[in-house]
Structure 1
Amino acid sequence: MIQRVLIPTDFTVNSLRIVLEYLENSNHQQVELVLTCGYNLGESIGMLLGFTVDDYLAEMQNEDFLKGCEMIKSRFKDRVVEMYSDLMISRNKRYVHNYLKGGQFAQIVLPNIFEFNYTTNCFDIVELMKTSQLSGMPEIISVSMSDEKLQAQDTLDSFFFRKKWRFTYE
């Protein structure tokens, strides 16, 4: 059975460490990963009418982040069925409940210690998930992010070559 898993992100390569820690330390089940960022639309009617998730995601995701996602999918191709990004556009309790229920998430992965580098208009969904007391809330999985030396680096080489992985190029 494939489980859908919500993982918070700020669309930096560094935030993909959460994905790696989860995949390296979880059981060998197949998962669909949804990398989610909180985004505040504001109250302008123009913003609300012209909003499309794809446009905002195209602006927020840089090339290194997308390459990092592809490398993770390639490394864990037997476990990661799908991996994509999404935006949570409100902190409202009912919206969050409906977002989680509609997304049919089985798990939410939250780092114990991690400094997200949010852009303007973004908000922290980690704190939102920790403080939300919703009925039918998915299982919360905590991942340990203790490698402090690597926390401040946001480059692909330091991220993927921190471990002695063997890469083959086909």
Structure 2
Amino acid sequence: MKQVLIPTDFSIRSLRVVHGVVERFGGEPLNIVLMHAIEMPSSIMDLMMLSRRSSHYDLLTTDYKDACEILRNKYASSIRSLKTEFLVGNSNGVFRNFLLYHNIDAIACAAKEEFRKAGENSFNPAELIKKSKYPVHYISLAPRKERYLVSAMSELFEV
């Protein structure tokens, strides 16, 4: 069973990497961790309340949750688990510990990076991924035909 990390910015497009991961690993059972990176809080008060407040969970939109459910159902025979986790901090050590905690075997990213900040504390984990020395699989994504959400959701059904 492979443990695969996929960075996400909570866009439907970032979830399209899952198609390539399932294809790349040929039906092997997968546990997929969708990771969103956020900066460590700078004030002591924010740091103390980090575990109690869930402001970063507000970044999970209904569309994102629905898209995850579509992927779980579509690839039920391959995907054993599909969960979203937050990386809090931007150091190599924090990222290494995150990978070890989740028993990650490989990282999968879109071949053409199109990261957008989902929140004010979000950051692009590309540099951390490059420095991690983990195998990285770059998945090519077909260009989008339209810019509408309905179109983006329909792309999840395509292979």
Report deviation, 1:53: 8.4
Q: For residues 32-71 of structure 1, what are the structure 2 equivalents within 5 Å?
A: 32-52=31-51, 55-71=54-70
Amino acid at match of 2:140: S
3-state SS of 1:35 partner: strand
User: CA distance change for structure 1 residues 93 and 161 in 2, over 3 Å: closer, same or farther?
Assistant: closer
Aligned-pair CA distance for 1:10: 0.7
Corresponding residue SS for 1:123 = coil
What is the match of residue 121 of structure 1? 121
Aligned partner of 1:128: which letter? L
User: How high is the sequence identity, in percent, across the aligned residues?
Assistant: 20
Q: Distance in 2 between matches of 1:19 and 1:109?
A: 8
Q: Offset of 1:55 from its aligned partner?
A: 1.7
DSSP 3-state at the match of 2:31: strand
* AA in 1 matched with 2:125: I
- 1:101 paired residue number: 100
Secondary structure, aligned partner of 2:16: helix
- Residue of structure 2 equivalent to 1:153: 147
- For structure 2, the 5+ residue unaligned runs are none
TM-score (norm 2): 0.87
Q: How many pairs align?
A: 157
Which residue number in structure 2 is paired with residue 168 of structure 1? none
Q: Secondary structure at the match of 2:3?
A: strand
Question: Contact (CA 8 Å) 1:57, 1:85: kept in 2 or not?
Answer: no
Paired residues of 2:67 and 2:156 also in contact (CA < 8 A) = no
Aligned partner letter, 1:140: V
Residues in 1 aligned to 2:52 and 2:6: alpha-carbon distance in whole angstroms: 17
Relative to 1, partners in 2 of residues 1:32 and 1:153: Cα closer, same or farther, differing over 3 Å?
farther
Name whichever of 65-74 and 51-60 sits farther off: 51-60
Q: Is the 8 A contact 1:5 1:107 kept in 2?
A: yes
Unaligned runs of 5+ in 1: 166-170
CA RMSD of aligned residues (A): 2.2
2-side partners of 1:9 and 1:27: how far apart? 22
